[in-house]
Amino acid sequence: MIAADDLIALVRNYNPKTNEALIRAAFAYGEAMHDGQTRQSGDPYFTHPVAVAAILTEQQLDDATIVTALLHDTIEDTKSTYLEISERFGEEVAMLVDGVTKLTNLQLSSTETKQAENFRKLFMAMSKDLRVILVKLADRLHNMRTIKAMREEKQLQKARETMDIYAPLAGRMGMQWMREELEDLAFRVINPEARVSIIRRFITLQREAGDVIPRITNDMRHELDAVGIEAEVFGRAKKPYSIWRKMQEKELSFSRLSDIYGFRIITRSEMDCYRALGTIHRRWRAVPGRFKDYVSQPKSNGYRSIHTTVSGRDGKRVEVQIRTRQMHEVAETGVAAHWSYRDGVRAQNPFAVDPAKWIASLTEQFTAEEDHDEFLEAVKLEMYSDQVFCFTPKGEVVKLPKGATPLDFGYAIHTRIGSACVGAKVDGIRVPLWTRLKNGQSVQIITADGQTPQATWLDIAKTGKAKSAIRRSLREARKGRFVKLGREIARSAFEHVGKKASDKVLEKAAKTLRLADGEALLARLGSAEISARDVVAAVYPDLSPRPHSEVDTARAVIGLAHDQAFSRADCCQPLPGERIVGIVRRGQGVIVHAIDCPNLVEVEDEPDRWLDIQWAEGRHPAVYDVTLDLTIGNDAGVLGRICTLIGERKANISNLQFRDRKPDFYRLDINLELSDAEHMHSVISALEAESDVAQVERKRDTDRIDQARTAAE
């Protein structure tokens, strides 16, 4: 095991001003905490955190990151706590260790490759500080380096996870060497045969053509020397996994795969990058379409380099990357370069990207075509703050908007599960349905047969999917109630004329009234869209009872003196069919309020002004103004359809006023002239049945309390 002194020496190499006491204390504390624990290999457990810390010294990271590496498994695997770490090593370290612990606790499902992208997003979303990911990546790297000690089945699972999640994550953060090593370690486990066969091909190739790498390297050095460019040239065979992936992608055999060698030219200045490029292109033929200039157009993670592919006389292609030393450092360490230390201070590499600004700057920087995906990714990243990722008991990730509740989670899995929801457990603990879910929580929905969506759920659900499913289901339940009610009304109406409301009779009535079927007829009858009289008349035109004559508007209210004028209160807009009360106005006249109007409080202690009145029996003309508060989708034509719908129900629109126009919806007040409460309900249920109508409410305006007060006086 690396001793504390050795680790400190590694840090001191790049950071002479390191807080030695802090690292020593973390070392001693971690060692004591993990005392007695062993790894699968039989080594003392603490060898692992130390190795992880050592990996991070290669990236020249700050003290907090090194200390975090030493402690990264303490909260999870020992009796240590957040509080204790915070007291001993400070809030920053405690926060970082806690972040690593949270990532460790995520149950990654190895079988779900298609979920990998979600996991990567989850990682980003959960890590307030990218150093958490750097430690987690180093942790995984060490575990992969020592994977042979694991059970075979476990090896495969870890390798897949590494290939699906950790290696691409390292790549995204611009850490090329990390990505390549993780891929190679995972490839060894996942497909050892393929890896070995590629390595064998290399050996054969070398035997046939000799070692081409030193030859080409020397050629390049010679060319650069000749024009006076000072530069280092390195060559290498590409990693087996990257060759294998290319073979898969391009469906090429190894022998037809051309650029299996890569060369790097590290120059002294940016200017020399371009001079070197010119030199290389003059000497070898450039392969069309393979030239990319990431020096003038850097990638968002700070990557700068000139890429080109050239071919020699034998037609063999080689890839060449040209960059300065500083660019090279950023190309290898990616966003980690931001934390790199040299001589006790942050190494000021001008190309290092501040991870915090990384995402934001992406939106401006991207122009190159191949950055497009990355750009989209970044845009999505920015939106992660509006999202939470939760797990099913089986470990699948469910993506939800921020503020989502277990109800949304249930509906996201399946409408059936959402609809039958009676409760939920989050991380094994029973929680109320309105609980807001957090990143990484595991959610279990408890269902019961016979449960149906409740109206109150509309306030609990956050997602459109859940809301619309709940609304649909409520609408259906309501329709069921109307059908039942309609059947009752039909039964008594037909009995009244000495007939029976059999299914056959109802079908006939439906046909005459141009309705789909008997059930549709009953639903409309129940919701008062059609009257019992019309239904009976549709089958027995001669038997139908005489319609009531229309109520005279002047005598619409019973209980007034014959010369007493009345008017309806604006605040509650009472309709025939609703219970009312009259309030005598000072001076003259009576204001008719709904019995439940909140403004009646104003005249509570003046009993002599209250009049016991009621609406006249019979059919009232459609003259009573009612305001509906409507929220509708802003599709073209919705408004037209709504007006038609209202017209079909013989209601007159007297006024229409927009209150809010959002890109997705409009909110408006519609004033209707209606005959009674039944009429209003028929209009409301027709509107509710329209799919573009999100919400209909009768507007009882307590804002009008001032008007009501004047009315009441």
Choose the binding region for Mn ion from 72-80, 91-99, 312-320, 587-595 (rule: CB under 5 A): 72-80
Choose the binding region for Mn ion from 70-78, 236-244, 605-613, 691-699 (rule: CB under 5 A): 70-78
Using CA atoms, how far apart are residues 198 and 206, in angstroms rounded to an integer?
A: 12
Rounded to a whole number of angstroms, the minimum distance from the CB of residue 341 to Mn ion is 23
161 binds Mn ion (CB under 5 A): no
Query: What is the amino acid identity at position 374?
Result: E
Q: CA distances (Å), 318 to each of 150, 202, 251, 577, in order?
A: 39, 15, 19, 88
CA dihedral 477, 483, 488, 493 (to 10 degrees): 150
Pick from 391, 318, 336, 412: nearest CA to 112: 391
Is residue 143 within 8 Å of 40, Cβ to Cβ? no
Using CA atoms, how far apart are residues 693 and 684, in angstroms rounded to an integer?
A: 10
Pick from 287, 290, 324, 284: nearest CA to 307: 290
Choose the binding region for Mn ion from 131-139, 305-313, 367-375, 591-599 (rule: CB under 5 A): 131-139
Using CA atoms, how far apart are residues 607 and 462, in angstroms rounded to an integer?
A: 47
Rounded to a whole number of angstroms, the minimum distance from the CB of residue 183 to Mn ion is 20
Query: 73 vs 408, which CB is nearer to Mn ion?
Result: 73
Choose the binding region for Mn ion from 5-13, 57-65, 68-76, 413-421 (rule: CB under 5 A): 68-76
H helices present in 366-400, as ranges:
372-383
Q: Which of 31, 62, 63, 139 binds Mn ion (CB under 5 A)?
A: 139
Choose the binding region for Mn ion from 109-117, 133-141, 563-571, 677-685 (rule: CB under 5 A): 133-141
Q: How many binding residues for Mn ion (CB under 5 A)?
A: 2
Question: 5, 76, 370, 503: which is the annotated catalytic residue?
Answer: 76
**Residue 693: beta bridge partners?**
632
- Phi, psi dihedral angles at 380 (to 5 degrees): -65, -40
Using CA atoms, how far apart are residues 470 and 623, in angstroms rounded to an integer?
A: 35
Choose the binding region for Mn ion from 119-127, 135-143, 280-288, 398-406 (rule: CB under 5 A): 135-143
Query: 68 vs 675, which CB is nearer to Mn ion?
Result: 68
Q: CA distances (Å), 390 to each of 410, 439, 441, in order?
A: 11, 6, 5
Rounded to a whole number of angstroms, the minimum distance from the CB of residue 139 to Mn ion is 4
Is residue 135 within 8 Å of 96, Cβ to Cβ? yes
Query: 139 vs 164, which CB is nearer to Mn ion?
Result: 139
Which pair of structure tokens corresponds to residue 108?
């990654």
Question: 43, 77, 92, 669: which is the annotated catalytic residue?
Answer: 77
Rounded to a whole number of angstroms, the minimum distance from the CB of residue 141 to Mn ion is 10
Is residue 339 within 8 Å of 65, Cβ to Cβ? yes
Pick from 17, 23, 87: nearest CA to 56: 23
Query: 139 vs 408, which CB is nearer to Mn ion?
Result: 139
Query: 45 vs 263, which CB is nearer to Mn ion?
Result: 45
Query: Strand 341-342 relative to strand 345-346: parallel, antiparallel, unpaired?
Result: antiparallel
Q: Which residues contact 307 (CB under 8 A, 6 or more apart)?
A: 290, 291, 292, 293, 294, 319, 320, 321
Is residue 159 within 8 Å of 186, Cβ to Cβ? yes
77: annotated active-site residue: yes
CA dihedral 596, 602, 607, 613 (to 10 degrees): -40
Binding mask 471-490 for Mn ion (x = CB under 5 A): --------------------
Query: 136 vs 471, which CB is nearer to Mn ion?
Result: 136
Query: 138 vs 632, which CB is nearer to Mn ion?
Result: 138
Pick from 161, 184, 308, 286: nearest CA to 244: 184
Query: 55 vs 124, which CB is nearer to Mn ion?
Result: 55
Query: What is the amino acid identity at position 151?
Result: R
73 binds Mn ion (CB under 5 A): yes
Rounded to a whole number of angstroms, the minimum distance from the CB of residue 187 to Mn ion is 22
Query: 73 vs 164, which CB is nearer to Mn ion?
Result: 73
563: annotated active-site residue: no
Query: What are the residues binding Mn ion (CB under 5 A)?
Result: 73, 139
Residues classed as catalytic: 76-77
